[in-house]
């Protein structure tokens, strides 16, 4: 498939950095790559985002789908290439590690209403739809071997069941659990746990990872007949949207293609075909939906091709042997 590399490399520095690494195959110490990394750190949008995440934790989490949550912004920063040693990142790292539950996971500042089984009060706690996001960010930042991060991973991974990860929460949240049947897996928890698993070779090839991947592929296989509560894989799921925040086609494929042993699975191939069908003749992709909290970014424009979404699509295809 044609990859519009020249067009992609005409984008902002943070875009160029990832394109050079992930699509062009340049090494991190390549002069062009190091120059792009230096330039991305000076980018005004990146600088503004770093300032925003340093306001962590901000308002209490009431809905994990809220696009302006600090850990969603932090994950985007780590996805474009920021590391713990980069200017401004030490503060957010310290703040995350300062709030670690006794059992291991890092906590979020949240408020779960009583009608959903919470206390209705602002509190530091964790759920399986936010704790992996913090682990993912810390590992991406280069702290994967930190004992605190390892403690969090060691607690979260064994929560898996035969059908994937369920909704799980901190013991101090009592009987709280998310929507849906008690024995059902949580699609989003599986997605974000797989993002963590993919960053470690041993975890990536583990039975727990297999259970998580099979969970998402089975949900896709049955998506036309039924869908779990709040996580239907219908029209909205199939719309291209960035950054990768919630449970949608681009996010699921970006995660599942990190497990190469599944690239020939018919269910994976079906999802890839849908993504491929959204390309224009120049190999470009356009946002079909947007997060209003990110409306100033180029991937929030539904009227013109997006370099970032195009990059994500072609990285998915390259991992799958299509690109």
Q: pLDDT of 158-199, one tens digit each? A: 999 999 999 888 887 766 666 666 788 999 999 999 999 999
What does the pLDDT look like over 196-246, one tens digit per residue?
Answer: 999 999 999 999 999 999 999 999 998 777 666 566 778 899 999 999 999
Mean of pLDDT values over 248-266:
97
Take residue 291 and report the two structure tokens written for it: 């997060």
Alpha helices in the chain (DSSP H): 5-8, 13-22, 31-42, 44-53, 70-80, 89-97, 131-138, 147-156, 187-197, 201-204, 207-221, 235-238, 249-256, 266-276, 307-320
What residue ranges do the domains of the chain occupy?
56-224
Q: Would you say residue 56 has pLDDT above 90?
A: no
The second-level CATH assignment, the architecture, of 56-224 is Alpha/alpha barrel (1.50)
| Stretch among 32-46, 59-73, 239-253 having the lowest mean pLDDT | 59-73
Percent of the chain with pLDDT strictly greater than 70? 93
Q: Judge contact between 127 and 169, C-beta under 8 A.
A: yes
What does 159-176 look like in DSSP terms, one character per residue?
A: G-BTTB-B--B-GGGTT-
Residues near 159 by Cβ (< 8 Å), separated by ≥ 6?
128, 165, 166, 168
pLDDT at 112 over 90: no
Of 229-243, 244-258, 301-315, the one with minimum mean pLDDT is 229-243
Q: Are 126 and 99 in contact (CB under 8 A)?
A: no
Residue 60 burial (C-beta neighbours within 10 Å; 0-12, 13-18, 19+): middle
By CB atoms closer than 10 A (0-12, 13-18, 19+), residue 281 is exposed
Structure tokens at 216: 């998402």
Which is higher by pLDDT, 183 or 113? 183
For the cut 70, the answer to whether the pLDDT of residue 124 exceeds it is yes
| Dihedral sign from CA coordinates of 12, 14, 15, 20 | positive
The mean per-residue pLDDT over the stretch 39-44 comes to 96
């Amino acid at each position: 498939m044609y990859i519009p590399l020249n067009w992609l490399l005409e984008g902002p520095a943070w875009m160029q950095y990832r394109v050079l690494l992930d699509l062009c195959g340049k090494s991190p110490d390549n002069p062009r790559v190091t120059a792009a990394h230096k330039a991305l750190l000076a980018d005004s949008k990146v600088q503004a985002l770093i300032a925003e995440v340093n306001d962590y934790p901000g308002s209490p989490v009431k809905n994990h789908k809220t696009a302006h949550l600090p850990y969603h912004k932090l994950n985007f920063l780590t996805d474009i290439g920021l590391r713990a040693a980069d200017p401004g990142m030490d503060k957010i790292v310290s703040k995350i590690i300062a709030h670690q539950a006794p059992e291991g996971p890092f906590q979020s500042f949240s408020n779960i209403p009583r009608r959903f089984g919470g206390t209705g009060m602002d509190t530091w706690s964790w759920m399986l739809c936010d704790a992996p996001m913090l682990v993912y960010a810390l590992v991406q930042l280069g702290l994967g071997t930190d004992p605190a991060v390892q403690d969090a991973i060691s607690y979260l991974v064994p929560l898996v069941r035969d059908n994937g990860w369920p909704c799980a929460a901190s013991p101090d949240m009592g009987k709280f659990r998310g929507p849906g049947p008690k024995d059902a897996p949580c699609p989003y928890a599986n997605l974000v746990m797989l993002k963590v698993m993919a960053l470690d070779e041993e975890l990536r090839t583990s039975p727990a990872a297999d259970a998580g991947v099979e969970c998402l592929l089975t949900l896709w296989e049955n998506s036309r007949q039924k869908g779990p509560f709040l996580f239907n894989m219908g029209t909205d799921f199939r719309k291209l949207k960035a950054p990768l925040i919630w449970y949608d086609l681009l996010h699921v494929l970006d995660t599942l293609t990190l497990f190469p042993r599944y690239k020939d699975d018919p269910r994976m191939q079906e999802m890839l075909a849908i993504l491929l069908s959204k390309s224009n003749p120049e190999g470009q992709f356009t946002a079909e939906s947007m997060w209003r909290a990110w409306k100033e970014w180029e991937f929030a424009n539904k009227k013109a091709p997006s370099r970032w979404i195009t990059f994500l699509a072609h990285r998915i295809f390259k991992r799958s042997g299509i690109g």
